[in-house]
A and B are shown apart, each in its own frame.
Chain A
Amino acid sequence: MTQVIELTQVSKVYNGGAAQTALDGISMSVASGEFVAVMGPSGSGKSTLLNMVAGLDRPTSGRVCVGGRDLTGLSEGELAKFRRTHVGIVFQFFHLLNDLTVLDNVLVAAELAGIKRSAARQQATALLARLEIADKADVYPAELSGGQRQRVAIARALVNRPPLLLADEPTGALDSRSGDQIMELIAAINASGQTVVLVTHDAKLAARHAQRVISMSDGRIVDDAVLEPAAGTRSLLTFQREEARR
C-alpha cells in the first residue's frame, strides 16, 4: 500500500513567551484511500498536525512526507505549489472570499494551480453539482447557509483533484443536521478513492465514518485504533442482554 502521509519524529515548538511544544515526536503514516479521524482535547496539537501535512507550517524537527515528497526540504515557493496541487483543505469557518461568487471561489483555486479556465470551469461545475449546490453557482457566500458554505469550501478543496483531503473541524460551526450531511459528503468522496484526514470533536461522526481513529494528547499520539466495519444489529443485542441481566 502506498503511504500518502508519512511523519517521522515530527516535533513543533512555538516560541512565544514560554516555549510551547505543540507536537512532541509524532510518527505515523496514512495509506492511500484511508479515512482517518484525529481526536483529542483542545490544544492537543490536532490542527498543528494537520498544518504540517498541509504544508501550511514547518516542523521544528522531524520529517514530513506527503505523496512521496519530503516537504521539509521545499522552499516557500515550492511549498505553496505543493499546497495548491497535492492537498485540499477544509476549515471550520469555511474561509470563502466574500466578494466572489460561489463558482469564482472554486475557480480561483484552480487558476492558482495553473489549470486552464475551460477545464477548471468544467471541473468546478461538476463538483458543485455533486455537492448539490449547482443552483448557487452565481450567488455570493453571504447568501448561503453554513452547510452550503462548507459545500463550497469542499468544492474548492477538491477542484484540483488533490490526492489528499484534510478537514479541520468541518462540522464545528454547523448545526447537527448540516454537519451530518457534510460528513456524508466527505464519506462519499472517500468511498470514491480520496484519502481523508479529519480532525473532529464529534466521536459519533468520527466513529461512523472513519476506519481509523487517532487520539492525541499533549502533542503526542496516545492511541491509533483501527475500527472494525460496522456490525449492524449484533451490538445492540448484546447491549440489551447486559442490561437485562441486572
Chain B
Amino acid sequence: MSLRYGILGLLAEQPLHGYEVKTRYEALFGGTWDLNIGQVYTTLQRLERDGLVGEVGERGDRGKQRYDLTPAGRDALHDWLQTPEEEPPQLRQDIYLKLLLISRLANGNLDTLLARQRRVYLQRLKDLGELEHQARRQGRDDLVLLVQGAILHTEADLKWIDVCADESRRAAHSIGGTHQ
C-alpha cells in the first residue's frame, strides 16, 4: 500500500503533523491498519527531501512540526490519483504448485487439499461478511467498499477451487475410475 501517496492525499486536505497523519490514515481504513509512527516520520522526511512536502511555520520538535503539500507534491498526487493500477493479477502460486505436485504423485488425490482450501476461503467470507455488516452499521460506506473488494476476490478464489475440483473429477473419470 502506498503510504507515500496516502500521506500526500491527507496533506492535500490540510497541513498535519506526524501523529495526525497516523491517526487519520488509520481512520481511513476503519482501524484495520496499524501504522508505525516511525514509518510516518521517515516517509515525511523523504517526501520533504523530494520537494513534495514542506514544513509549515517555525521549525520545532518533530512531534509538533506540521507539513503541507508543495505545488510539486500536488502535481505528483494528481498524477498518481489518475493512474490506473497495473499490478499483475494475484496468482495463488503456492496452491497451484501444490495441486500440480499432488496430481503428479502416484495416487495423487486433490480432494483433501481442495476441501481444506475451500474451508479457508469460506471462513474468510464469513469474517469479511461480518466486517461488511459492522461497517454498514457504523455508516462507513467507504470501508464497505474496501471490504466488498476483498469479498469479491475471495469469491473468485472459491470459484477457482471449484474449477480445480471439476477438472480433477473429469481427470478421475477419464482414467476410467471406479466411479460409474
Contact = CB atoms under 8 A, between A and B. Distances in A.
Nearest to A203: B158
B162 A230 contact: no
Contacts of B126: 207-208, 227-228, 230-231
Interface residues of B, number: 35
B131 A235 contact: yes
Interface of B: 1, 29-34, 111, 114-115, 118-119, 121-131, 134, 147, 150-151, 155, 158, 162, 165-166, 169, 179-180
Interface size bracket, A side: 20 to 34
A130 to B, nearest CB: 21
Given A204-B151, A217-B165, 16 more contacts: A203-B121, A203-B125, A204-B129, A207-B125, A208-B129, A213-B122, A218-B179, A223-B118, A225-B122, A228-B123, A230-B127, A230-B129, A231-B126, A233-B32, A235-B131, A244-B1
Interface in A18-37: 21
Interface in A205-242: 206-208, 213, 215, 217-218, 222-223, 225, 227-228, 230-237, 239-240
A73 interface: no
Given A228-B123, A233-B31, A204 B155 contact: yes
Contacts, number: 84
Query: Which secondary structure characterizes the binding site on chain B?
Result: helix
A76 interface: no
A225 B32 contact: no
A99 interface: no
